[in-house]
């Protein structure tokens, strides 16, 4: 019976902490939400785009990633949904609402390809 009382007390404490907006690690809900929102705002590469960048030897440095992020933000402000960002390193197809680079191609590959389903282009 004591075990059940302790379990009840644990559940009651969790409910009280939850009602106060505190998670198990001591962070408030708003702190957790804000950190998740910050992560969602960062540009990330899909598995496919990561594989293509590696296969094609496209070097994505932190400063270049900042440049890509800036280009995506500019496209977002103009209402773009799917954008091709063209740089001297290659082309990066980005789904703007999801902040996701969906594929990449090197400069040589751009010469022989057609970009489809793109509503905007940004030149870096």
Length of the chain: 124
Global confidence as pTM: 0.66
pLDDT at 40 over 70: no
61: number of CA atoms within 13 Å, CB side? 3
With cut-offs at 50, 70 and 90, classify the pLDDT of residue 31: low
pLDDT at 33 over 50: no
Q: At a CB cut-off of 8 Å and minimum separation 6, what does 41 contact? A: 99
pLDDT at 38 over 70: no
Sheet with 90-95, strands from edge to edge, namely: 44-45, 100-105, 90-95, 82-87, 120-123
Q: What is the pLDDT of residues 56-90, one digit of tens each?
A: 888 888 999 999 999 999 999 999 999 999 998 88
The CA angle 115-119-124, to the nearest 5 degrees, is: 75
């Amino acid at each position: 019976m004591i075990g059940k009382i302790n379990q009840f007390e644990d559940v009651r404490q969790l409910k009280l902490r939850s009602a106060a907006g505190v998670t198990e690690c001591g962070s408030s809900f708003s702190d957790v939400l804000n950190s998740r929102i910050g992560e969602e705002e960062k540009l990330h590469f899909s598995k496919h785009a990561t594989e293509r960048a590696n296969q094609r030897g496209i070097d994505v440095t932190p400063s270049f990633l900042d440049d890509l992020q800036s280009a995506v933000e500019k496209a977002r402000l103009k209402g773009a949904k799917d954008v091709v960002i063209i740089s001297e390193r290659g082309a990066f197809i980005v789904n703007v609402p999801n902040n996701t680079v969906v594929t990449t191609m090197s400069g040589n590959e751009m010469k022989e390809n057609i970009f489809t389903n793109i509503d905007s282009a940004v030149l870096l």
